[in-house]
Amino acid sequence: MANQLLMPKATAVWLVDNTAMSFDQIAYFCHLHPLEVKAIADGEAAQGIKGMDPITTGQLTRDEIAKAETDQNYRPKLSEPKVRIPEKKRRGPRYTPLSKRQDRPNAILWLVRNHPELKDAQVSRLVGTTKSTIDQIRNRTHWNSANLQPMDPVTLGLCTQIDLDLEVQRASRGAPQQQNADETLLPASATETLPVGAGASPVEDEGEKELDADAVFAKLSSLKSADPEEDSEEKDQ
């Protein structure tokens, strides 16, 4: 965030009373109109305002004042702050413009369906809604549930793709990865010790058993046809 002058009118009052800077220079430094600075000098404006020394507050140096007093065309520059104040982080749900608030239920439905791992607080940060609304849409108790259509919040302009990816990454962080035991392979040391033919399927074994049974029945039929009693009966006829 750019550095800004503190209390511009109070600073202008001090510069008018304590320096030989022109009205244009003071107006430029304090972000005021030259006529307003002239009114301050004439006592028509800022009568109840106490002047504030910009040198004491570290916003202007004596060298800048001296340069401005010797050169009427010089524009004094605001000093860089010695201490950087971090920007205040946003707290609470994201603000959503009025024109896009009607799209929030559709975006919530899309997030609930496509990213069930997201927590209610994360959905609230992304689209700027409340937990009760999320519960109503998830449980299909929302007053407009019949007309809701899942729509990507990034496409609707409710959040950026970077914010969505970040929240999804946070939600999936630490989640256990499920692995199907049937898809795992045995180590080489285990497969080398297996006997030959151990990998045959039970279906093939059953088929071989069926083939052996057919051979046995065929052999029995041939033995029956060679019975001597049957041959003697045929000769008598």
What does the pLDDT look like over 57-69, one tens digit per residue?
A: 888 999 999 999 9
Give the residue-averaged pLDDT of 132-146.
89
Residue 165: both structure tokens together: 């990816």
Q: Which domain holds residue 66?
A: 8-70
Q: Are residues 167 and 110 in the same domain?
A: yes
Q: Is the pLDDT of residue 178 over 60?
A: no
The verdict on 63 and 14 lying in the same domain is yes
∠ CA 63-68-70, nearest 5°, is 95
Residue 175 has pLDDT above 80, yes or no: no
Indicate if the pLDDT at residue 24 is higher than 80.
yes
**pLDDT value of position 181:** 47
Distance CA(169)–CA(157), nearest Å, equals: 20
> Is the pLDDT score of 96 beyond 70?
no
For residues 45 and 111, membership in a common domain is answered with no
Judgement on whether residues 167 and 103 belong to the same structural domain of the protein: yes
Question: Which stretch of DSSP H or E encloses residue 69?
Answer: helix 62-70
Q: Which of 106-110, 134-138, 183-187 has the lowest mean pLDDT?
A: 183-187
The three-state secondary structure class of 93 is coil
Last residue of a domain, one of 172, 198, 232: 172
Asked if the structure places residue 83 within a domain, the reply is: no
Residue 141 is assigned to a structural domain of this protein: yes
Residues 40, 103 within the same domain: no
3-class secondary-structure state, position 96: coil
Q: What is the dihedral of CA 24, 30, 33, 39, to 10 degrees?
A: -90
On whether residue 20 sits in a domain, the answer given is yes
> Domain end: 128, 157, 172, which one?
172
Q: Would you say residue 183 lies in a domain?
A: no
pTM: 0.38
Q: Would residue 82 count as lying in a domain?
A: no
User: CA separation (Å) from 20 to 10, 13, 61, 72?
Assistant: 17, 12, 15, 10
111 and 58 belong to one structural domain: no
Number of domains in the chain: 2
Using DSSP, how many helices (H) and how many strands (E) does the chain show?
12, 0
The verdict on residue 56 lying in a domain is yes
Q: What is the CA radius of gyration of the chain?
A: 45
Is 102 in the same domain as 159? yes
Place 214 in a pLDDT band, splitting at 50, 70 and 90. low
The answer to whether residue 23 is domain-embedded is yes
Last residue of a domain, one of 139, 154, 172: 172
Is the per-residue pLDDT at 99 higher than 70? no
Tell me, yes or no, whether 109 and 162 share the same domain. Answer: yes
Q: Is the dihedral of CA 11, 15, 21, 22 positive or negative?
A: positive
Report pLDDT for 186: 59
Strands, E assignment, 4-79? none
For residue 157, being part of any structural domain is answered with yes
16 pLDDT tier (thresholds 50, 70, 90): very high
Residue 21 is predicted with a pLDDT of 92
